Amino acid sequence: MNAPKVKRRVGKYELGRTIGEGTFAKVKFARNVETKEHVALKILDKEKVLRNKMAEQIKREIATMKLIKHPNVVQLYEVMGSKTKIFIVLEFVTGGELFDKIVNHGRMREDEARRYFQQLINAVDYCHSRGVYHRDLKPENLLLDACGNLKVSDFGLSALSQQVRDDGLLHTTCGTPNYVAPEVLNDRGYDGATADLWSCGVILFVLLAGYLPFDESNLMTLYKKISLAEFSCPPWVSFEARKLLNRILDPNPMTRITIPQILEDEWFKKGYKPPVFEEKENTNLDDVEAVFKDSEEHHVTENREEEQPAPMNAFELISMSKGLNLNNLFDSEQEFKRETRFTSTCPADEIVSKIEEAAKPLGFDVHKKNYKMRLQNLKAGRKGNLNVATEVFQVAPSLHMVEVRKAKGDTLEFHKFYKKLSTSLKDVVWKSADDTQHATSQQSAA
């Protein structure tokens, strides 16, 4: 049996698995060792922040986010810094992504879609009133809490990948193209508030229709359709909802409907409950100042990781599966996910070697660090090069769980890759939980 591994620590937080990844940041599951509270730890590269001249803007937006306490926005608790990293401690939301519901169950009933849209508008309106804009609203940023309420994540932090010029307008084209407003694509500068609203309109369309309003494999064709707002609603969408969608998905930001006008819309108002919450008072911003002053006395201590697979505790296992149904963890055919998992009774070193052997013939460059791997497709796909992150966790002395995540690129390309990979790993992948339970029950009967 392997000796227990001391987990990586950042200050009072014990770090677990990676739960999200972007160009500028990584998000890890973490636990406050003092309070036992589970949090999400967003890790930013300080050098990238400085290189992009974003320090002041990020500092301002992090400080503002600390002041924001809204039931439909992921809470920012505190900020820490080391010599090379900025650590943002966020509320850990357990219910998964809203869009997994669409993927698994198809379009929503109109009253259900309206409830989520109302919560989205509540969050966006509140943050806009405090001068904070998201600028990259997309499915990955819409989470659900344990009660099924919408929580917008990364509000105010997505500015990291963008630039404001002297005219006060944003100019960088970024985000998922399907959700981006026409004025963002034409690079003439855009207002964060009206651009956010367009993305909300695309999200509402997806909730009601079950598919995207603008979706073309050719980027130029996609951009043209977005610029002209060329879309049509399916027949099951009500006339009132269509009317609202047409006013939000207006390609002219000057005539696009505003949030105060949405709040007065008849379709929107049905069953609307304004959010009830207390404003934060006397929030301490000393940690934000300390991080950006970069004095060594305020640096948080980081403990190094040992070279063994990370052990996984029961809560981490449960947090990865909806409804506490652990069978989902061991299903090797999780369709349309940005991440998937399988279990194996093979030693960790053997699992890593087998993944490397399987990935290279598929055209992937392999980078290894301990029991984590980054696979990069050398050939660019629909959304650039597909990058896949894998990590091996120890669930029990003789049982490992392997997580395979899309870090970058197209989700459908990721699924094609995973199917080919899982075929090559048949002798490594253990049976699913259902098979195991079935076999156990047969043995008991015998």
pLDDT tens figures, 30-51? 888 888 888 988 888 887 777 7
Which active-site residues does the annotation give? 136
Instruction: State the average pLDDT over residues 336-361.
Output: 80
Which residue did the predictor score with more confidence, 252 or 16?
252
Query: Which residues on adjacent β-strands are paired with residue 396?
Result: 399
Instruction: State the average pLDDT over residues 385-402.
Output: 80
Residue written as tokens 């991080």? 291
pLDDT tens figures, 113-153? 999 999 999 999 998 888 778 877 887 788 888 888 999 88
Which residue did the predictor score with more confidence, 334 or 232?
232
* Phi–psi pair at 438, nearest 5 degrees: -65, -45
C-alpha span between 108 and 238 (Å, rounded): 13
| CATH 3.30.310.80 is the classification of domain 310-445 | yes
Contact between residue 211 and residue 232 where contact means Cβ atoms under 8 Å apart? no
By residue count, the chain amounts to 446
The torsion of the CA quartet 151, 154, 156, 159, rounded to 10 degrees, works out to -150
Residue 283 predicted with pLDDT over 60: yes
Query: Can you give the pTM of this predicted structure?
Result: 0.67
- C-alpha pair distances (Å), 391 with each of 81, 99, 330: 25, 24, 15
Contact between residue 93 and residue 153 where contact means Cβ atoms under 8 Å apart? yes
Contact between residue 30 and residue 16 where contact means Cβ atoms under 8 Å apart? yes
Residue written as tokens 């449960």? 318
Check the CA dihedral 101-102-106-107 and report its sign.
positive
pLDDT tens figures, 74-110? 888 888 888 888 888 988 888 778 877 787 777 889 9
Strands 364-369 and 339-344, bridge-based pairing: unpaired
Superfamily (CATH) of domain 9-269: Transferase(Phosphotransferase) domain 1 (1.10.510.10)
Residue 242 predicted with pLDDT over 90: yes
Domain boundaries defined on the chain: 9-269, 310-445
Query: Which residues on adjacent β-strands are paired with residue 385?
Result: 380
42 assigned binding-site residue: yes
Instruction: State the average pLDDT over residues 172-196.
Output: 70
Which residue did the predictor score with more confidence, 295 or 273?
273
Number of other CB atoms surrounding residue 48 within 10 Å: 15
Who contacts 430 (Cβ-Cβ below 8 Å, separation ≥6)? 330, 342, 343, 344, 345, 399, 436
